[in-house]
Each structure stands twice: as structure tokens, then as C-alpha cells.
Chain A
Amino acid sequence: MAEPRYWDIRHVEGAVTHVDIDNGVVESAGTSFFNRALLRVLGEHGWGVLTIENYASCSEKEIRDYIGRALQLARVTEEDVVLADAPSGMLPVPPLAEDPRDVSLEEKCGLLAGIEAAARLPGIASTRGRYTEDEGRVHFRDSSGNEYEYALCRSGFSVLAVARRGELMQMGRESEHTLSGLNLRHRQDMGRTAAERALALLDARPAKGGRMRALLDPELAGVFAHEAIGHASEGDLVKEGASIIKGRIGERIGNEILNIVDDPTLPEFGFEPVDAEGVAVARTEIIRNGVLSSYLHDRQTLAAVGDGIAGHARAVPGDVPVVRMSNTYIENGDASFDELLEACGTGILLAGSRGGQVDPGRGVFQFNAEYGYIVENGELGAMVRDVSLSGEILSTLHAIVLCGNDRKMHQGYCGKAGQSVPVSDGAPHVLLEEAVVGGSGA
């Protein structure tokens, strides 16, 4: 049988622990186990890909058999895949301040219950707290002799409060996820904040849709960076013709004050010590002074497209590596919050995020704020609810006219190709001209 041009195996074994507390009742708490490996083999043309069960107990002969099977599969492929050379190497995993695995499930339940109970303010009809902890031991090896092993433990919680007054209901939600250790202690403030937001939203009006100046808070502006440019810069989309910014390296696509970065080396929620195909991770400046500088790449898309570095491949256990964002952010400018408000004049402040989505080929994105405030004459006015923002990638980046100096990162999960990976997004407060705001208010 023919020999493969390249192969790699990524095996992840670990456990997921969760606690779910609903209105003071521990609905469920417990641990589940997973053990998955993925083998990729490069045949004469393209990839043969196999999920392997019980990889840990596989003999070398069994692995050779799997490689043979994957090579058979690859025979239907036509694409002549080329892998760019890329530096190997692994960063140390950031230390855990308090290892969640050293804390009993019972204690975690108690801590979460405290946060959830703190959300039970007068007027709150429903509260829910959830904790998740995901520990995985990753083992990577490839046909070039690279081999890596590391373990990561991500954990975090969310708290939801629903306020009710007669027929009227509103919700508030807070969450924090981390890879630097247990974050459940002394966090009752998060429960209260969620509850206070839900109560305040009972008196908020639906936003009136239309074009206006919009000030985005750091969480929402981070989602903006992720949806408005992050996805479109992913090398696989560029390679397949699905990104509106393909062929635009060196072009001014945004205001010159705008710098947007993806950095998997930051010890934030999207950190990776080494990427999913064994490549050393490094910071990529997607936009520098408004100019498109780099795409995000894996080895294959780097070879096919150029302009950037590999090291951005990520994968959930047992699935194929795909070009993904990690920690994506807009860099600080120098405006204070008051200066931003004054520059906004009349418009809207949008805050918090219920998520977003982009069609990178069409260049149109949408994302939703949890709440907002009318801005009048540089001052915050009435609270509004259910407000979203949409835009076109190529025009909206020019519309960012001012960046604050208060960047913060927020954690979340990003879905692509059926895989959901942990990411963080961040930004300072940013001011957007001519934003298309969606709302049902008259």
C-alpha cells in the first residue's frame, strides 16, 4: 500500500463536570467522561479522516491499520493539499490559582447556590445558576516526529434572573469563564447584577430601529470584532472564496484608528498552548491602522492563501482541526468614556451581548445587545431593550470613529463547522457612526 504524505493523531481524554441549580433546587450535578481521537492522513491528493475509539489502548500495528483505512478513504479526494512549513513548539499552560479538581462537587454546589440565591431579589420570579468544568488531556503526534502533551482545565458559571411584573417579564444574565482556576468564590455580586438588570429592564422601552450613532460597551464591541472581521479573516473561508475580504491584504478596510488582533498566546479563555496541528501559536494582527494585514491560518490555508501565519487551527475532541479565532480584540485607543459619550452626542449606548452571527461571503453581520440607553446631548437617558445591530463588513469598519482606553475581555463559545470552541472577545468602548440598529419600538 502507498504511504501517506503526512498523518497526525490528536487524542483528548477528560471529564466534564456540571452543576445546575434552578430556583434553589439542585436539578443535577455530576461528572461525565470522554475519550476521543482523530486521525488525519494526507493521501495522494486530499485528507482521509478517521475518528478512533479507544486510542489509548491501540497498538502501533492497529494505528498502522487505521492509517491504511484513512488512506483508502482519501482516494476519493481531488484537492491537491499542500501544507506550509510552520514552527513547532508549545507554551506552558497558565497555572491554576485554585485547581477546581481539588474542590469537592459538594462545595462547588454550595458556592453556586450562593450566587444563584443572591439573584433572588424582590420582583425576581425565576433564578438559575449553572457551573461547568471541562478538563482535557491532549496528546498530539504527527508523521514528522512532533509530539505534544498538555492538560487544560476550563471552568466557569452563569447566573440567570427573570423579573416579572404582571404580564411583563425580562431577563438578566451574567457569566464568567476562565482557565486560571475556580472562580466561584465571593461572586454573589454576579447574581445581584443579573437580577438588578432584569428588574431595570421591566421599565425599559423597545428600541426604535434605524440609523444612528452607537456607542458599544467592551463586551459588545468585542463581539463586533469577532463577527465583523474575525470570521471573515479565517483562512479557510478566504481560500474557499467565502470571505468578502479575500484579496484585500494591504487595503484600508477600516478607520486608521482601528487595530484588531487575534492572540491565542494570551492567558484568556481562548488560550491554546499549541494549535491542533502541532504548530506554535502566535499573535496575529488582522487589522493594523485600518489596513488589512493578515488572515488567520492553518498550514493548509497558509500554503494556499498566504499573508499570515499558521497556528490558528483548533478542534474539539475527536473532530477535525479548523481555522478558528482564540482571543480576539480591538486594541485600546485613548478616549475616556466621557469623551466618547460627548462625541456620541445623540445616539444609543448598547451593552452586553446575546450573541451574533455573520455571513462572511456576503459581508453582513448581526449581533444583539442585552440592553442599552438612549444618549442625548452626551448624557445617558432612558434604558432600552431588545436592540440589535447589523452592518456590512466593508463599510462598518470605516464607521468606527473613536476607541476608548478601557479594554476588557469577555468569554464565550464560538460555533463553526459544527464545533463549539471556547473563545474570548474584547474591546474598549467604541463609537460607531451610522449604525443600523434593529428594534421593534415605534
Chain B
Amino acid sequence: MHKGHDRDDVIDRILAKGADLCDEVEVFFTEGESVSAELKRSIVGEAHAARSWGIGIRTIRDGRIGASSTNDPSRWEDCLDAAIAGGTLATPQEWHGLPGPVTLSGSVPVFDPNITVAIEPAREMLRGLLAGAASWPVDVIGGSAGLSRSSVAIANSAGVHYTSERTGVGVSLEAIAGTSTGYEFDRSRFLDIDPFRVGEQAAFFAARSAGGGDIATGSYDVILSPVAVAQLLGNVLVPALSGRNVHAGRSFLAGKLGEQVLGETISVVDDPFARGMGSTLFDAEGVPTRRLAFIEEGVLSSYAYDLRTAYRYSEKTTASAVRGGAGGSPSIGIHNLLIEGPRHDIADERAVYAHDLVGAHTANPVTGDFSVELSNAFWMEGGDYAEPIRKAMLAGNVFSMFGAVDGLGRESRVVGSMILPPVRFKSMQVIGT
């Protein structure tokens, strides 16, 4: 695949050269291939194939941390030099070493040997999406189906060298009925997604949201879908749990360890071993992962730490490092975030339901205040969708609304690096027309 640039060779070279230049070196390596087929309306317009290759190098010298990344195999030496050069400008910090190797026990569900990265199976999934969408009288706007395989490795000068082979499959479809839109998607590491069901759901939302009525401004019980819940949690709760934000004075949850911060039946957990998109035995800096309870029955029990933040503030890493930080460095994140608590039939009593939110990223990450537009909003009653609602905004505060959770639904779904049920909230402010 890459003459002279295969994985172990490039990792060994970087570790060897880095050992001469600094105290410690770490290499994060990814390689992968993917294909996707794209619908333009209801016919295939584009077929894509890609290979990816990338390294992130981190160097530590006298407590100064430097990082750099490249996707160009011929520039690994420039990348190493750039990491060291950047490190000379970083403020030195308390540092007690990269992790050493341990025997990782068990396995996580991230690889499906039945996944073939080829265009034909992607084309076949598009047929499934379209067949599902045909269940409702809608026009298909577009859709996508893709398959991927990747290889991830983390290695460091303390002897860690872990690898993980991963597969992925994803589909999405967007439909419209008049001016009523519907979007649905699913992603998995296994061939266990159902394109027909995804197409059917997108079409359902487009078709059933048409002809919605107005809602008067006021206070209503609101049910948010897992997709909508994920957007609010991802924009507000996840950054508030980051140890870096806590210690930097930017988190609503700072100083609240041991305090009741959510409703007393609600727990929030990061479970790297669950069947989700973020499942992994080691984090992005080679620390073995563990199940991490952030909030237990409403009481804040832990923040998330990576090594650098833990060392700086005399805490312990929670194996919460993920890749995606600036310039190829790790940052604090989540693997598979779960909400736990008693499950109910939450849609029996009348409430406003929203499948999606428009503008959740505009929520205030520091205070948790937000006001967003609802997408595919319905009245829900007797466990089922009733009349659609044409247009409504929802305003509130993420922390106080999760303090007033009225119930968790029975079925969870994977949304990015979260696995969430629908959630019912009491007395939310809805701005109607």
C-alpha cells in the first residue's frame, strides 16, 4: 500500500529518532480505506473511494509538550522536528511520563470481518434506503451509503504499542414532502444496520410532519429524541465534564463534585466497552480504558482527564483522551456516553416531541442556556405520534432541564459517540407562532 511507509516501519523510525532528541515520544497512527455511493434525488450521482494515512507525533522534553501531525509519509521527519520546535514554546508543566505497556484483556466490538470495502455493497444499501423511503409519499433529496476499514495504532517510547482494526458502515437519507423535510441516518461498526428502516424513517418524518398546526407560546412537557439529546449533551454537558475546562474556570460543573447536579434517578457514564462507535480498550494516549461514571444517581462523581491535565492538577487520568486536538495532539473527550436510569413508556401522556434541533451548536457552552428551533415536532400521546407542529422554538438551560427529567424511554440508539434513549422533560418553555 505504501512502499517504505508501512506502519511498524514508520513508527519504529520515529521512536528511534525521537529518543535521541527528547525525553519521550509518542506516535498515533491511522490508516484506512473507505468507499461511498451518493444519491442525488433518487439516483446514484457519485461514487467515492479514498485511502487515508496519518500520523500524530507528540514529544516531551523537560515537561514541555509538543505535537504535530501529517498525512504525508515522506514528511515524518519534518513532523517530528515541528513537534519538538512547538514544544520549546509550550509552558513547562508537571509531567510524570507516558504510560508503559500493560496486557490489555478482553476485546471490544469494533471489527466485522464481513464488511467488504467495495462500491457494490454500498450501491446495494442505497437500494434498501430507497425501498424504505417508498413507504411514504415523499421525494428523496439525497442519501449516502458507505463502508470503511481502518487501522489505529498508538506507540510510545515507554514501550506501548497497541493496535486496533476497525470497520464501519453508515447510511443516511433525506426526504421532502412539499416543504416538510425528514432526515435519518445510522452508523455502526457492524453490518447490523437496516437501510430500509433508515429510509422509511426519513420518509416518515417528511410525510408525517406536513400540514403541521401552530402551537401557542407556553410551558409544555417535551420529549427529545436521542438525536436531539445528543446535540444538547455534546455542546454543553461534555465540555462541562472536561477536566481542562473545569480547572480553567469555564465549566458550570466546577467545584460541584459530590453535589446533586442532575435528577436523582439519572446517571451519566462513559462505557468504552459498550457496543458503540467509540468502543476501545485504550485511549488516544495509550492508557487502558475503564468504565467511567461521571454522574451517579444525579451526583457528580468524576470529571474527564487526559494525562497532561491530570499531571498538572494532581489528578489521575480517566483514560478520556481522544484524537482531534489542535495540531494532532490528544484532547479530552468521550468514548461511548450513556444515560442510565429507570426506563418508562414516556410517550403515554401528551407532550411535545422533537426528532431534531436546528441550531443546537449555538447553545452557551459555559452556562448551558440555549434556544433552538425544533425539527419534526409532533404532539405525542398514547405512545404514538399525533398531530405535527409546524414551527416552534425551545428555550431553556441544559443543566436545569436534565435536573427535571421526567423519564427515559425504553430504547437507546447510537448517535456518534453516545448511546442514548429519548428523554422526557417537565415544563419547558416553547415559543410558538
Contact = CB atoms under 8 A, between A and B. Distances in A.
Contact of B367 (A77, A169, A242, A364): A169
B252 interface: yes
A170 interface: yes
Interface in A7-28: 13, 16, 18-20, 22-23, 25-28
Contacts of B431: 209-210, 436-439
B41 interface: yes
A364 B212 CA distance: 14
B85 A162 contact: no
Interface in B383-416: 391, 393-397
Interface stretch (A45-53, A288-296, A308-316): A45-53
A106 interface: yes
A28 B65 contact: yes
A439 B120 CA distance: 49
A30 B359 contact: no
A153 interface: no
B228 to A, nearest CB: 13
Contact of B141 (A20, A361, A388): A361
Interface in A38-80: 46-51, 53-54, 57, 69-70, 73-79
Given A18-B327, A36-B71, A242-B142, A358 B47 contact: no
A28 B86 contact: yes
A74 B41 CA distance: 17
A304 to B, nearest CB: 9
Contacts of A210: 217, 431
Contacts, number: 263
A348 B397 CA distance: 22
B45 A46 contact: yes
Given A32-B327, A240-B142, A51 B358 contact: no
B181 A22 contact: no
Contacts of B244: 22
Contacts of B180: 362
Contact of A436 (B82, B249, B397, B433): B433
A26 B89 contact: yes
Interface stretch (B189-197, B370-378, B417-425): B370-378
Contact of B123 (A76, A126, A171, A386): A76
A76 B141 contact: no
Contacts of B328: 32
B329 interface: yes
Interface string B1-26: 01000000000000000000000000
Contact of B327 (A28, A106, A109): A28
Contacts of B325: 28
Contact of B369 (A25, A363, A385): A385
Given A81-B45, A240-B142, A31 B373 contact: no
B79 A48 contact: no
A357 B367 contact: no
Interface stretch (A84-92, A177-185, A365-373, A421-429): A365-373
Contact of B326 (A13, A20, A79, A386): A20
Contact of A126 (B49, B78, B248): B248
B367 to A, nearest CB: 6
Given A23-B248, A54-B72, A209-B429, A242 B174 contact: yes
Nearest to A50: B49
A32 B249 contact: no
A174 to B, nearest CB: 15
Contacts of A365: 358, 373
Interface in B300-341: 325-329
A22 to B, nearest CB: 6
A356 interface: yes
Contacts of A128: 248, 250
A215 B142 CA distance: 37
B40 interface: yes
Interface string B86-100: 110111010000000
Interface in B220-271: 244, 248-250, 252
A26 B217 CA distance: 47
24 contacts: A18-B326, A20-B326, A28-B325, A30-B66, A31-B68, A46-B40, A46-B46, A46-B47, A51-B48, A53-B2, A105-B85, A109-B89, A171-B366, A171-B367, A209-B429, A210-B431, A240-B41, A240-B141, A241-B41, A355-B361, A359-B358, A361-B179, A390-B373, A438-B373
